[in-house]
Structures are given as structure tokens and as C-alpha cells.
Structure 1
Amino acid sequence: MSRRFADIIDLYLLSGSEFTRRLRAVRPEQWPAPTPCPEWDVHSLVNHMTRGNLGYVALLNGGSAAEFLRLRDSDALHGDPVCAYVRSMRECAAAFGAPGALDRILDHPLGSVTGAQGLAMRTTDAAIHSWDLARAVNAPEELDPRLVAWVEDNLVETYAGLAESPMTVGTSRRYFAAPAAPPLAGESRQARLLRLTGR
């Protein structure tokens, strides 16, 4: 396992807590609200995050990329988005915290990854979507600086060797929006990370 991913369980939990904090701020009338992700409203974004956690647990337990994609948009909230997401986050952290899990090979849709690299992808996803959710529901948008720094510093290694990356020019953009351009003078680390991921 790469030394860069040594604290990945803690970082994953930090990114999940950032998403949870915004999720708890969602008012009933905001579930159909649009998000910065054009294909998702608030409800479907939360479902995407919850289903993603469960999907990564399935990959860790030997599930296939095809099955992951087949279930990607199926309902995982069951009428209680907050509880469903928090439960899925805890289940994911517990699964990846098991002995040997971070060294296991996962059949991810973007290519084979170790458990550690997969969880780094999940951590990055949760960080960026925490901002998306905050923007959608007018919640505080500033992310934990430690999380922002880690995600930005490790974007290249997190997606190394995969079929698509937020850092790759000419990628299919099936999974990642194109980086926003140009950079702003004096932009913060968070602003730079969001720009690199198409926000």
C-alpha cells in the first residue's frame, strides 16, 4: 500500500462527516433542488453517495464492475436519506478497515485498483460532492482544509492507471466534468480543487 494512503480510513471518515453535515441541513422542500451535477437533484445526489458506499463494499467482497454499474442508480435511501447514508458510510469504513482489505484488488469500473486506492477515490468523491450538496442547499461551503489539501495533493496518484481521471486531458468525461478554466488570481486550495474537478 502506498504511504500516501496510510491514513485513508480516517480521511474517508472525515470526508463522510463533511457530507453528513450538509445532509443534515437539507430541508424537506430542498430534496428536488438542482445541484452543480446536472444529472442529479439533491435526492439523487444523496442516493448516488449512499449507493456508492454500498457498491464499494460489494467490490471489496468480490463483486464485479458490471454489477456495480447495474446497481449504481438503484434506490439505497428507502425513505430515510440521512440514516441510509450514515449507515452506508459506517459499513464502508468497517469493511475497508478489516485486516488485508486495503491490499485487496477490486474490479472497479475504471480498472483494477487496490482497496486503498479505491477508498481514496471514494474519499475524493465524498469531498467534492460535499461541496455540491452545500451549494445546492445553501449550507456552508468551506470544506475541512486538511481534507482539501490531501485530495488535491493526491489526485494524480488516486486515479493513476485508470481509464478516466479528472486530471487527464482528452478523457471521455463519462465520470468527471472537464476542469473549469482559467484559474483565478490568488485562488484558494479549495477553489483550485473545485476548478480541477469541473466546478
Structure 2
Amino acid sequence: MMIIDVREAYHRALEDFGALVHRIGPEQWDSPTPCVDWDVRDLVNHVVGENLWAPELLGGRAVAEIGDAFEGDLLGDDPIKAFDTSAVAAMQATGGAGSLTRVVHLSFGDVSGREYVTELFADALIHTWDLARAIGADERLDPELVEACTVWFSGAGNGYRPAGAGAERQGTSSEADAQADLLASWGRQA
């Protein structure tokens, strides 16, 4: 059970990610991230791709119909503008009440719009930490969003991990806070 409205949680997480995108220095785009094999540009490109998928999938199209439209470099010469444009489209697509009741046709099967938006939220939240770590920004995530993601992922994680959502859970100390524990559940070492 999500503590806050999942659409609000997603929009807040995406806004937090976007604030960091706007802080990326020209020399940081090729910096490594906690995501194996991804530098900062790859990470932002991934989130832009997720953003571009949202209107299509919530609009009723299937992954097979869209094909490889969102493969490759989606950032072009202006990565910040590419992110901003994609974020607006994703927030518009996920903002209405109907977005939660739609059936979304993903590559592994159909899910509710609520489940899909929750996946988008979790992805944006965890990648916010990844980007903060990569560019040396404040790594503290919004505690309310951490709690909401923890509640969802504690029930859904075992189903998503085999599909590639997060790496193997990392160990934490007994003093680990909620954020460190959530990140560990996604395979991150805070």
C-alpha cells in the first residue's frame, strides 16, 4: 500500500532527478555512476527513455508496436532540454486519474497503470540517488518517497529483481537508516 498518491510520488521523484540533471557540469557527463556500465549520460538517457515510453504505454500502445523508437541516444546536443521535454510528457501522461486504471502492455505482460506508474516512481527515485552520487551532490532522498518506495518494493522486489530491477540486495549495518536499507534492497551500497 502506497502511503502517498503514486502519481505525486513519481512527479516529486522525477522533479528531484531533474534538479540534479540541471546541476551536471560539462565535464561530468562521462563520470561513472553506481549503475554498472552506465556513465552520467547513459543514466540520464535511460530516464529520458522511460519518460518517453510513459505516454505511449499509458496511451494503450504495446512495447512491440513501439519497437526500438526509444533506443540509442535520446539526448542529442542538448541533454538538459531532452530531459525537461521528456519529463513534462511523462508527468502529463501519468497525472490523470485514468492513468492508474488503464491496462499497460509491457514486454513481460500486462499490468495496471498503478503498477506501471509505481515502477516509474521507484526507478526515478533510485536513479536520483545514483545521479547524486555520480556528480557529488547531496545524496539524501526525500524521506516520504523513501518510505513509499520501501513499502512497495518490500512486497514487489522479489518479482522484479529477476527481471533486472535492481541488483542483488546488499548487506547493511544494524544502524542503517531507511534510505540506506532501501538502496541496499536495490543493490546499492550507500
- Common fold: TM-score over 0.5: yes
**8 Å Cα contact 1:69-1:109 kept in structure 2:** no
Query: Is the Cα–Cα contact under 8 Å of residues 29 and 40 in structure 2 kept in the other structure?
Result: yes
Shift of 1:144: 0.7
Q: Does 1:131 align with 2:129?
A: yes
Amino acid at match of 1:177: A
Which residue pairs with 2:174 in the alignment? Answer: 185
Asked if residue 53 in structure 1 is aligned to residue 51 in structure 2, the reply is yes
Find the partner of 1:194 among 176, 180, 183: 183
The aligned length equals 188
Once the two structures are superposed, residues 53-79 of structure 1 have per-residue CA deviations (whole angstroms, 9 ceiling, x without a partner) of 111221112222235673453222222
Instruction: Tell me what 1:44 maps to.
Output: 42
TM-score (norm. length: structure 1): 0.85
TM-superposed deviation, 1:6: 6.4
1:91-130 aligned at under 5 Å gives the runs 91-130=89-128
Q: Distance in 2 between matches of 1:39 and 1:79?
A: 22
> 1:153 and 1:112 mapped to 2: Cα distance?
22
Given the two structures, how large is their TM-score scaled by the length of structure 2?
Answer: 0.89
CA distance in 2 between counterparts of 1:153 and 1:66 reads: 31
Alpha-carbon deviations, 1:99-146, whole Å to 9, x = none? 522101011123311111101100000000000001111111001111
How far apart in 1 are the matches of 2:66 and 2:173? 37
Distance 1:186 1:159, change over 3 A: closer
Q: Determine the C-alpha separation between the residues in 1 that align with 2:4 and 2:66.
A: 26
Give distance in 2, aligned partners of 1:196 and 1:69. Answer: 31
Name the stretch that deviates more: 20-29 or 67-76. Answer: 67-76
Matched residue SS, 1:165: helix
Give me the whole-angstrom Cα distance separating, in 2, the residues matched to 1:52 and 1:36: 18
How many percent identity over aligned positions?
34
Partners of 1:68 and 1:109 within 8 A in 2 = no
Pair 1:52–1:68, CA change in 2 (3 A): farther
After TM superposition, list the pairs within 5 Å mapping 1:3-22 onto structure 2: 4=2, 7-22=5-20
Deviates more, 1:108-117 or 1:29-38: 108-117
1:157 is displaced (CA, Å) by 4.8
Give the distance between the partners of 1:143 and 1:68, measured in 2 at CA. Answer: 33
Unaligned runs of 5+ in 2: none
CA contact (8 A) 2:34 2:130 kept: yes
Stretch of structure 1 that moved more, 104-113 or 73-82: 73-82
Alignment-mate amino acid for residue 184 of structure 2: R
Following TM superposition, by how much is the alpha carbon of 1:93 offset from its aligned partner in structure 2, in angstroms? Answer: 1.5
Partner of 1:144: 142
